[in-house]
Every structure is written in C-alpha cells, then in structure tokens.
Amino acid sequence: MRYIGIEEIENIAIGAALLGTGGGGDPYIGKLMAQQAVEEYGPIRLISPDEVPDDALVIPSAMMGAPTVMVEKIPNGEEAVAAFEAIQEYLGKEVYATMPIEAGGVNSLLPLALAARLGLPVIDADGMGRAFPELQMVTFYLDGVPATPMVLSDEKGNNLLLNTINNVWAERIARTATIEMGGSVMLSIYPMDGKTVKQSAIHNILTLEEEIGRKIREAKERNEDPIEEVLKLTNGHRLFKGKVTDINRKTEAGFAKGTATIEGLDDYKGEECYLHFQNEHLLAETKDKVLCVTPDLIAVLDSDTGMPITTEGLKYGARCIVIGMPANPLWRTDKGIEVAGPRYFGYDLDFTPLEDLIRKEGN
C-alpha cells in the first residue's frame, strides 16, 4: 500500500494519455477532478491486487459517453458515489475497493477521485491496460465475468440499474441510456471478488502510468528525448516518424473512424505510414507491411514535446512519432483477439504480435 497525491496524479495523467492510444478522452478533466478530491479529502491509498482478500467485493468505476461532452459538462463528483451506493445496496455487501476498468485516457483518473471521496483504496489494476471503445472489451469479459449488475448515474440524480443477459446487451442499453441522460454518465460496473481481480485484471497498470508520466516530465525538464525511456518501460518499438499530410474522418454509429497519412521524415523519408483509427489508433501500416495492429498498442507522440496526440487532435501538418507497444498477454489469446483484434474492427487481416512484425523486418 502506498499513498497517491497531487504529484502522482499529474504523472498518471500523462501515462494515461499515452496508454489511451489516441482515444479514451483527454485525461485532463479526470486529473483535475482527482486533484480537487485529494485537496478536499486527503491522499488516496493505492493497493496491489495481492493485498485484496479473495472474497472482498471490488467494484470498478468509469465514465461512459462522449469525452467531448465531459470537457463541457464536467461531473459534480457525486454521480460516481451515487452509482457506487446503489450497486452496494443492491448486492447487500460492503465494497472493499474500487479500480479502473480502462487505464487509457480519462477513465484511469476517475476512480481516484471517487476513492478520495469515499476514503476507499484503489487497486493498482485495470481491465484493458489501454483504452478500448466498448464495455465488453475488458479482460474480465474474456474470463466470463458479467458487466452487470451495473448502475449508470447522471448529475441530475438519475440512477439506472441494469441486469442484462450478456455484456453486449449491457453495452447496447447503456449506450442508448447515456445519450438520454445527457451524453456522459458515471458507471459502477463489473462487480467482482478479490480472487477474480487477481486472475483476470491487468496488474500494476497505474504504477506503470505513473512511471511513464514521470519519465516524460523529467526528460522534458532536461530537454531530452523521452521516447527511449517510454519504449524501455513498455517494451515498445519506434515504428515511424513523420508529419501528418492527410486526415480522412467520418462518424459511424457514434464512433469517429478514419485514416491519417503520415509522410516520413529523417530515417523514414520517402515512406508513408497509414494510421487507421476508430476512437483509438488500431492499425499502423505502410504500403507493403503492417507495423502494428490491435490489440497491441499504437501511440502517436508529438515529436517536439513527446506528449501523446489523440485521434481528435491529429491535424494536418502535425509532426509526430508513431510507437507500438505489446498488449498484455491476456489480449493475445484466441478469445482476446476475437473480442478486440483487427477483424472485430473490420480490418481484413490476422493479428500478428508486434515483436514478430519487427523481427520480420529484420530490425
């Protein structure tokens, strides 16, 4: 167990933006919420999954909806508490701890704000190790853990308890309700016991984010290139460097899809990289080879500052470096690839691990 304060939150937010792989929403709002909560309620206890008793009740917390709505209609902080209390009452058991389901983007920080308010510990784990757009895209689901009972709460005081036949239905109903409730709600979801957390969650992810954030900030202060450090921490690889020369976007069923063309600079001069995204960066390829594909992680970093660029922030002329990072082994199973691999997102290719793609190229 250790305590998380203002400084640690600052670092986690940067790591969360990187593991957000272009999506997951700007962690900025989550960071400020967590920091205000720490100022009002004191520091947060961060515990490792091993410290959680097997039979303890754990309830992750997250936001659902459009990050663009959340940056305008900021939560009041009580939504997550209400969602938590409603599910606790329904299950008739006291909650031991909370945790993120999604470490990438804004959702890594929101459980911290909740934990500070309630005085509960946060578990150093999540269900994605990155960001993904749909509720069933979590490692808990791969192990058959149901998303429901879950509760959606808005700032007006509405609570909605869902019990669905499967996680796809949970996703479908929750998404429709979210729109009616104002485009952005807080969830308590995937209630599970401590044993399940140990088996099915991705461990030590908040600590990894904190280290990534610290390295990027330190390198920035020393005017050094932070990317090497980031690659070391994540076992990642540098895939491409260039500038964005074309962006093609469309919205389908609430998802921002598109392709960015990046023209090579320096070592990559004369080449082009095509970056396909659907809220998150999902596939990076050149004319004749795949560089990295989901569920492995693709992050785009500003080549001047080393800071992550989101899919919405990708602009004509942006100078960037594309990096790839291997996904947690839980994602590289048959079930993991079925749930969040290239074919699920409509890309006609098989998943190949990043290391194999790199090796094939002979680097």
Partner 1 sequence: MSSYRIGIDVGGTHTDAVILDESYNVISEVKAPTTEDVSSGIYNAMKEVVASADVPVEKIKFAMLGTTHCTNAIVERKRLNRVAIIRIGAPATLAIKPLVGVPEDLKTILGKHVYLVRGGHEFDGREIVELDEQHIYQIAEEIKGQVDSVAIVSVFSPVSDTHETRAAAILAEVLGNDVALSMSNEIGSVGLLERENATILNAAIVDVARSTADGFVQALKQEGIHAKVFFGQNDGTLMSVEYTVKYPILTIACGPTNSLRGASYLTEQSDAIVVDVGGTTTDVGVLIGSFPRQSSLAVEIGGVRTNFRMPDISAIGLGGGTIVQINDDRSFQIGPESVGHKLHEKSLIFGGDTLTTTDIAVALGKAELGNPEHIAHLDKALLEKIYAEMIGMVEESIDKMKTSAEPVPVILVGGGSILFPAELKGASEVIKPNNSGVANAIGSAISQVSGQIERIFSLDELGREKTLEAAKEMARQEAINAGADPDDLVIVDFEDVPLAYLPGDATKIRAKAAGALAIG
- Choices 89-97, 141-149, 179-187, 336-344 (CB under 8 A): range interacting with partner 1: 179-187
What's the count of helices (H) and strands (E) in the chain, helices before strands? 12, 19
Count residues binding partner 1 (CB under 8 A).
Answer: 48
The residue within the footprint of partner 1, chosen from 14, 37, 323, 327 (CB under 8 A), is 37
CB 150, CB 162: distance < 8 Å = yes
> Distances from the Cα of 106 to the Cαs of 34, 244, 255, in angstroms?
11, 25, 17
Candidates 6, 42, 74, 166: give the one binding partner 1 (CB under 8 A).
74
Q: Round to whole Å and give the CA distance between 73 and 96.
A: 30
274 binds partner 1 (CB under 8 A): no
Two tokens, residue 180: 């009616």
Does residue 329 have a cis peptide bond before it, meaning omega lies within 30 degrees of 0?
no
In the complex with partner 1, the residue whose CB is nearer, 96 or 132, is 132
Smallest distance, partner 1 to C-beta of residue 23, A: 8
**Nearer to partner 1 by C-beta: 112 or 205?**
112
Stated as kind and residue range, the H or E segment containing 211 is helix 205-221
- Please, which residue, 52 or 63, has the CB nearer to partner 1? 63
Q: In the stretch 117-146, what mask flags binding to partner 1 with x, by CB under 8 A?
A: ----------------x-------------
Token pair listed for 102: 């999604």
Binding mask 52-71 for partner 1 (x = CB under 8 A): -------------xxxxx-x
101 Cβ neighbours under 8 A, 6+ residues apart = 60, 62, 107, 126, 127, 128, 138, 140, 189, 190
How far is it, in rounded angstroms, from Cα 116 to Cα 61? Answer: 13
- Binders of partner 1 among residues 304 to 333 (CB under 8 A) are 311-313, 315-319
User: Residues interacting with partner 1, by CB under 8 A?
Assistant: 23, 29, 32-33, 35-37, 65-69, 71-78, 113, 133, 155-157, 179, 182-183, 243, 245, 249-251, 253-256, 263, 265, 279, 311-313, 315-319
